[in-house]
Amino acid sequence: MKPIQAAITGVQGYVPEYVLSNAELEKMVDTTDEWITSRTGIKERRLLKGEGLGASYMGIQAAKGLLEKTQTDAKEIDMLICATATPDMVFPATANLIAQGIGCTADCLSYDIMAACSGFLFALTTASKFIETGVFKKIIVVGTDKMSSIIDYTDRQTCVIFGDGAGAVLLEANTEGNGLIDHILRSDGAGSEFLYMKAGGSRYPASTQTVANKEHYVTQHGSVVFKHAVKNMADTSYELVQRNGLSADEIAYLVPHQANLRIIDATAERLGLNPNKVLINIQRYGNTTNGTIPLCLWDFESQFKKGDNLVLAAFGGGFTWGAAYLKWAY
């Protein structure tokens, strides 16, 4: 029997209509378009507006579009994993809400994975094991985050970086040698003090005091996070490429988490890649956390050819990081 790989057979994205530009941010905080662009590469980001709309809303839009695009019936989906750092609620799982929203049946197993900005990569590799072992045939992996819900728009350290968005991929079995080939995933809790949201969990439940202290917003020690992101994302990607005997010429594209353009450039340089092999849309969406990688796949899907070697890489709070090597299946 030929080995089974979990292949991406479809991808779809969703971003809200509202555009928050650097020019608008200049009116909100002490910053400039030049400062933001030179340090992050971001020109604008999308924000989800509307009462009662959370991460599941964007996930549903992306997943619905994916079903339509691939002509797949929701009742055929065996599993749905949602990677998110901004769940609608502590429970039920945002994945459950998305599965219900797209018409999946009770036979569809759904749950969330939380690994900050690396969550989509962790979810993708987790889902692949269910395909490779023959347990499930069709799995949807969603990355969705409404980062605007946990950002302090008076803090220029964070408000210039993040945006809202979602992406979804369909995974199916492949015996042609295409699909997820290898991955390296890592985490280190020592990084938890440098990028976190303090309140809202069981350690510091919501109270008038936590709200007054702005503890329900993202706190980031930018310089420390930057150094760790540059080293770990680049090193892991390089290790993965070396392990699989891939030269820079054999890599079609690097699909990096869109956190900061300088981090992306460092990873590409470590792999010896020309800029035209690096997929970048951070200038339009900012850092959508779990949405960045699937949104990149969606934006550049038309450029991919069957058999293309793609390297996916991410780094997130916690710290979490990793890289995956896959061959494009269509």
User: Taking 90 as the threshold, does the pLDDT of residue 183 lie above it?
Assistant: yes
Considering 117, 260, 290, 296, which one is annotated as catalytic? 117
Class of domain 181-327: alpha beta
What are the tokens at 282?
């951070």
DSSP string of 137-188?
Answer: SEEEEEEEEEGGGG--TT-HHHHTTB-EEEEEEEEEEE-SS-EEEEEEEEE-
pLDDT tens digit string along 25-55? 999 999 999 999 999 999 999 999 999 999 9
pLDDT at res. 316: 95
Considering 22, 96, 178, 257, which one is annotated as catalytic? 257
CA 251 – CA 187 distance, rounded (Å): 26
Mean pLDDT of 217-238: 93
| pLDDT bucket at 162, cuts 50 / 70 / 90 | very high
pLDDT at res. 157: 87
Please tell me the CATH code under which domain 5-177 is placed. Answer: 3.40.47.10
**The tokens 């200038």 sit on which residue?**
283
pLDDT tens digit string along 296-314? 999 999 999 999 999 999 9
**Upper half-sphere CA count for residue 237 (Cβ side, 13 Å):** 32
pLDDT at res. 330: 97
What is the share, in percent, of the chain residues with pLDDT greater than 90? 97
pLDDT at res. 217: 95
Q: What is the dihedral of CA 69, 75, 77, 80, to 10 degrees?
A: 100
pLDDT at res. 180: 98
**What Cα–Cα distance (Å) separates residue 50 from each residue in 68, 86, 146?**
25, 16, 12
* Residue 117 a catalytic site member: yes
3-state secondary structure of 37: helix
Specify burial of residue 215 (Cβ count, 10 A radius: 0-12, 13-18, 19+): middle
* Residue 104 a catalytic site member: no
Considering 174, 178, 287, 290, which one is annotated as catalytic? 287
| pLDDT bucket at 164, cuts 50 / 70 / 90 | very high
Mean pLDDT of 14-30: 96
What are the tokens at 288?
């959508």
pLDDT at res. 222: 81
Domain with CATH 3.40.47.10 in the chain: 5-177, 181-327
pLDDT tens digit string along 194-222? 999 999 999 999 999 999 999 999 999 98
Mean per-residue pLDDT of the chain: 96
For the whole prediction, is pTM greater than 0.85?
yes
* Residue 228 a catalytic site member: no
3-state secondary structure of 315: strand
pLDDT at res. 2: 84
Angle at 120 between CA 17 and CA 326, to 5 degrees: 115
User: Taking 90 as the threshold, does the pLDDT of residue 248 lie above it?
Assistant: yes
pLDDT tens digit string along 87-98? 999 999 999 999
User: Taking 80 as the threshold, does the pLDDT of residue 1 lie above it?
Assistant: no
